Amino acid sequence: MLNSQGIKGPPYRFIHGNNREIAKMRQEASSKPMALTHDIFPKVQPHIYSWINKYGRNYLYWNGVRAELVISEPELVKEILKNSEKTFPKRKPTIYLSKLLGNGLVTVEGEKWAKQRKLANYVFHGESLKNMTPAVIASVETMLQKWKGQEGKEIEVFNEFRLLTSEVISRTAFGSSYLEGEKVFAMLNKLSIIMSRNLYNTRIPLINKLWKPADMLESEELAKEIQDCVMKIVKKREDKVVNGEADSFGNDFLGLLVNAYHDSDKNNKLSMEDLVDECKTFYFAGQDTVNALLAWTVLLLAIHGDWQDKARREVIGIFGNQNPQPEGIAKLKTMTMIINETLRLYSSSNGMLRRVGRDVQMEKVVLPANIDLLIANAVLHHDPQLWGEDVHLFKPDRFAEGIAKATNYNAAAFLPFGLGPRTCVGMTFATTETKIALSMILQRYAITLSPAYVHSPIPVISLQPQHGIQIKMSALVKLAILLPCSLFLVALIKFLYDYLWIPLRLQHMMNSQGIKGPPYAFIYGNNKEATKTTNEALSKPMALRHDIFPRVQPHVYSCINRYGRNYLAWDGKRPELVITEPELVNEVLKHSVTTFPKRKPTFFLTGIFGNGLVTALGEKWVKQRKLANYAFHGESLKNMTPAVIASVETMLEKWKGYVGKEIEVYHEFRLLTSEVISRTAFGSSYLEGEKIFDMLNKLSIIRSRNFFETRIPLINKFWKSGDVLESEELSKGIQDCVMKIVKKREDKVVNGEVDSFGNDFLGLLVNAYHDSDENNRLSTEDLVDECKTFYFAGQDTVNSLIAWIVFLLAIHGDWQEKARREVIEIFGNQIPNSEEMSKLKIMTMIIYETLRLYGPSNGMMRRTESDVQLGKLILPANLDLLVIHSAPHHDPQLWGDDVHLFKPERFAEGIAKATNYNAGVFCPFGLGPRNCVGTNFATMETKIVLSMILQRYTIYLSPTYVHSPIPYITVQPQHGIQVILESLHNDA
């Protein structure tokens, strides 16, 4: 069947398939060493090398009676690994692999895999990796202490790194030491050797059921002993809790497993077999992969002294003679290039196995169900068509601009840790551990290859040096004893590297992809130009028109016209990719929050929101969002309606004395929205939170005037500006006020006045603050930050929105009349009710058009977590992304030549039709998983306020109004909005 589709291969042989031929070729290849070249593919996988050359990049061979399609064509590899696991699931492991890894994360499928992957993700996420760093450093220090007497002598590093990586995985994942797990490591190593020598042994039917070979008996015995050892380690962890020595099973990997083992929920509970299998998997994979990677990297650095020197200079420039720390590890660009090139030439994985879950068409080939697939990594990594004629040379500079550029944007050309949903969970852990170990070695030693080294890579589970890797080390002069001027030189080099070399290199990289922008200026970036342009634009009012983009964001407006819709700018030394192209906006905002997370907030923005919902990341954000969703879901909004109406009635009662007179509504709506958020979310009044609102307003003004201020290194550490001191004082004042309100709520429960803390937002926060479960409990800081966020965002956004709508209706009397007719038709002279609110179609159109012209948010900040492709662009890690709303909202190509006119009828058939089904064109409240949680609350409040005003008054713009929109956190009227009210009723 496959031959007829052009897939050839060695012919099937009865029972044994091609296993005997393969075993013979492998034995011949491993029986003799090779020359010291990096062209290792013909040696480590001679059968694949031979048959690819004979039958083509994809061919069929026979593992006994099982058909196995070897695939090395990048497009097919990508299709398999990125596809659904139901279409191409993992192959059922062989009997020996089952003994080695059991039904752990590497081999398991379906829901079981999802559950186990979730555990592993939790252990190896960013914050956990930071917490593991001290244990990795301590383990490396122990190894280096032992090396002290070995200077000038030969040392075999593959075995040294085996002990090191065993110690690291023991400490970080299992909270123990290598000695405690020594027997487990030894037995897993024996199992891997047994598996390797039986890889191409054919299991003959019936005979294998009646007679077990010695390797099978030994592997069963080893598997049983490993289970006993693991359960002893588990028992020890359990005993500590039982005896009161510990409060919990711990937060490391073993602790999470033991928690799951004891879980009362059957769906989450781990069986003993699952627990043991996960331990086996992480003991083996956590040690074996990093061991091989470290050893091969050291071999390559020992051969290529120029790259060893480059790596050492980088390490010393970043860390000096101090131990590595997480922030610096991310800056090791040269070392990252070296690691990537090592993974290409000496990839730990020899291939990935899948099978066809059901009959499927892949490109032009139809594959039957249950055929095995082998993805041959080594073929792709050593292919001159993908990497060039120098494919077998060690050239880390291939990766100078990241993996995507090195592979010409072909993801399947380089996949040392896999690809798609089942990418290795420990990838970041492995590279971090490697970087720490290499940094600490390079700080102390120069490495040369020993003449005794014999080059003979062999595939076991990972790729290993058959006879070890022998090197010699020379101790370096320690930085600590250098003259002070040398230390100054190191600091100067680091400073120039951070503030000159990196920005210029990144600017060149983005320019080469067609992304231009204003050139980087030393230290200040483009901040001085942006400040000057903004000050000029805001120094005078504008004509009464709605083309506000050149005024509120003049620097962005100017750069878009000069450099294009997406351009690179510099906030000090931080690169900022400004994005206004709707397709890219859509991709950034709708993408996973781990791919494009929020940017770390600036110092002054932290003063306003702290680490609340607007700025929080990861699991903290999930927890806080869950609380907010509950507080602002549909039923809760209904319950808030009376409080909103009561607040509006209070304001309108006061307005009765202003009929025919001028009234400044922006200030009026500030008091109103403050009262509404106080009543609905905090069960209090504006007066109780007045000081908080006042201090938050001051903080927003401070943040606005410091928006383009450059924080200069060192100076900011030793000297605080007046604004910094004031913002710190204000933050402290807000915390005190919030905690007084919380105390008042707590006292009511303590004194028996109420049964609970309440169901409003504050009540939910105080409940979480007192939660007995540490995972759900909010700290004092979290509670205060959430209150700050909702006090500010719940007031400021709606304040601006209502003010600008009233301004627009005052100018456009025809739309004011249409809105009033609709309100009276639906509500008459009765107060609005939540059931009828959805019928306000004209008002909805007016709100949308106001959000387009005077949208509260000027943009959203994101960043790249790692190298990532966005559209056709390849973006490096730690690049800030600024998604600008004003540009697409005011773009004539998207909205037509009447883009600057107030025309609510654009939205007559909804947002999708108005934007031509392009979500990135109009997203005033964000888009995707992090869209504003208060969207429905804001629009509901706005509709109630406008309905009640329109039932009573006709609004005219006062002649004293000066049109001067200004960007703070939201777009605000610099001099307020003055209107004149005319009563519709005699009793007004």
Instruction: Give the residue, 912 or 775, on which the prediction is more confident.
Output: 912
Q: Is pLDDT above 80 for 784?
A: yes
Residue 772: predicted pLDDT: 84
- pLDDT bracket for residue 451 (50, 70, 90): confident
Assess whether 168 and 85 both reside in one domain. yes
Instruction: Answer whether residue 527 is part of any domain.
Output: no
Question: How far apart are the C-alpha atoms of 10 and 13, rounded to whole Å?
Answer: 9
The pair of structure tokens assigned to 632 is 């602002």
Assess whether 458 and 560 both reside in one domain. no
Q: Is pLDDT above 70 for 106?
A: no
pLDDT in tens, 747-759: 888 898 888 888 8
DSSP codes of every residue in 545-564 = SS--HHHHSHHHHHHHHHH-
pLDDT in tens, 461-501: 788 899 999 998 888 754 444 444 555 676 777 777 778 87
Q: Which stretch of 132-146, 713-727, 824-838, 857-871 has the lowest confidence by average pLDDT? A: 713-727
The pair of structure tokens assigned to 919 is 């979500």
DSSP 586: H
The pair of structure tokens assigned to 391 is 């494919």
Residues 660, 663, 666, 672, Cα dihedral to 10°: -80
Assess whether 419 and 488 both reside in one domain. no
CB 407 within 8 A of CB 413: yes
CB 314 within 8 A of CB 332: yes
User: What's the predicted TM-score (pTM) here?
Assistant: 0.58
Q: How many separate helices (H) and strands (E) can be counted in the chain?
A: 42, 22
Assess whether 451 and 597 both reside in one domain. no
CB 390 within 8 A of CB 382: no
Q: Is pLDDT above 60 for 987?
A: no
Tell me the backbone φ, ψ of residue 389, rounded to 5 degrees. -65, -20
Assess whether 465 and 564 both reside in one domain. no
Q: Which stretch of 175-184, 343-352, 601-610, 877-886 has the lowest confidence by average pLDDT? A: 175-184
Instruction: Answer whether residue 743 is part of any domain.
Output: yes
Q: How many CA atoms lie within 13 A of 610 on its CB side?
A: 26
Q: Is pLDDT above 80 for 205?
A: no
Q: Is pLDDT above 50 for 420?
A: yes
Residue 174: predicted pLDDT: 74
CB atoms under 10 Å from CB of 118, counted, come to 12
Tell me the backbone φ, ψ of residue 525, rounded to 5 degrees. 60, -130
Residue 125: predicted pLDDT: 62
Helices (H), 445-593: 484-496, 502-511, 527-538, 549-552, 554-563, 582-590
The pair of structure tokens assigned to 842 is 């004209």
Q: Which stretch of 40-49, 101-110, 455-464 has the lowest confidence by average pLDDT? A: 101-110
CB 402 within 8 A of CB 864: no
- pLDDT bracket for residue 232 (50, 70, 90): confident
Question: How far apart are the C-alpha atoms of 498 and 504, rounded to whole Å?
Answer: 10
Assess whether 189 and 337 both reside in one domain. yes
Residue 108: predicted pLDDT: 67
Assess whether 471 and 499 both reside in one domain. no
Extract long-range pairs of 37-43: CB within 8 Å, 24+ residues apart.
37/392, 37/455, 38/345, 38/346, 38/392, 38/393, 38/394, 39/382, 39/392, 40/345, 40/346, 40/378, 40/382, 40/457, 40/463, 41/378, 41/379, 41/382, 43/456, 43/457
Question: Three-state SS for 463?
Answer: strand
Residue 882: predicted pLDDT: 92
Question: How far apart are the C-alpha atoms of 498 and 714, rounded to whole Å?
Answer: 14
Assess whether 368 and 332 both reside in one domain. yes
- pLDDT bracket for residue 59 (50, 70, 90): very high
Assess whether 704 and 636 both reside in one domain. yes
Q: What is the CATH number of the domain that holds 573?
A: 1.10.630.10
Question: Three-state SS for 25?
Answer: helix
Q: Is pLDDT above 70 for 124?
A: no
- pLDDT bracket for residue 665 (50, 70, 90): very high
DSSP codes of every residue in 686-733 = HHHHHHHHHHHHHHHHHHHHTTT----TTHHHH---HHHHHHHHHHHH
Assess whether 265 and 247 both reside in one domain. yes
Residue 691: predicted pLDDT: 83
CB 101 within 8 A of CB 271: no
- pLDDT bracket for residue 129 (50, 70, 90): low
Q: Is pLDDT above 90 for 978?
A: yes
Instruction: Answer whether residue 117 is part of any domain.
Output: yes
Instruction: Answer whether residue 526 is part of any domain.
Output: no
Nearest residue to 509 via CA among 865, 866, 879: 879
Instruction: Answer whether residue 147 is part of any domain.
Output: yes
Q: How many CA atoms lie within 13 A of 127 on its CB side?
A: 6
Q: Which stretch of 115-119, 196-200, 405-409, 753-757 has the lowest confidence by average pLDDT? A: 115-119
Block residue for tokens 């929080």: 616
The mean predicted confidence, pLDDT, of the chain is 85
The reply to whether 559 sits in an annotated binding site is no
> CA-CA distances (angstroms) from residue 563 to 560, 567, 986?
5, 6, 58
Mean pLDDT value across residues 615-633? 73
Question: Three-state SS for 476?
Answer: coil
Nearest residue to 186 via CA among 229, 215, 217: 229
Residue 93: predicted pLDDT: 75
* Max avg pLDDT among 272-281, 478-487, 902-911: 902-911
Question: How far apart are the C-alpha atoms of 439 and 330, rounded to whole Å?
Answer: 12
Residues 131, 135, 137, 141, Cα dihedral to 10°: 170
* Max avg pLDDT among 460-464, 533-537, 781-785, 875-879: 533-537
> CA-CA distances (angstroms) from residue 959 to 166, 290, 519, 669?
78, 74, 44, 20
Q: Is pLDDT above 90 for 719?
A: no
Assess whether 268 and 231 both reside in one domain. yes
Q: Which stretch of 46-55, 617-626, 650-659, 775-784 has the lowest confidence by average pLDDT? A: 617-626
Instruction: Answer whether residue 536 is part of any domain.
Output: no
Residue 631: predicted pLDDT: 66
Contacts of residue 547, Cβ cutoff 8 Å, sequence gap at least 6: 890, 900
pLDDT in tens, 283-318: 667 778 888 999 999 999 998 888 998 999 999 999
Question: How far apart are the C-alpha atoms of 681 and 673, rounded to whole Å?
Answer: 12
Instruction: Give the residue, 19 or 946, on which the prediction is more confident.
Output: 946
Residues 237, 240, 241, 245, Cα dihedral to 10°: -140
Instruction: Answer whether residue 451 is part of any domain.
Output: yes
Domain that holds residue 941: 514-518+544-983
Nearest residue to 647 via CA among 671, 681, 682, 664: 671
Mean pLDDT value across residues 204-231? 79
Mean pLDDT value across residues 14-21? 88
Instruction: Answer whether residue 531 is part of any domain.
Output: no
Position 445: which residue type? Y
Q: Which stretch of 492-501, 792-801, 811-820 has the lowest confidence by average pLDDT? A: 492-501
The distance from CA 837 to its chain's CA centroid, rounded to whole angstroms, is: 38
> CA-CA distances (angstroms) from residue 560 to 17, 276, 503?
64, 58, 21
Assess whether 458 and 500 both reside in one domain. no
Block residue for tokens 């808030």: 640
Number of separate domains in the chain: 3
Question: Three-state SS for 789?
Answer: helix
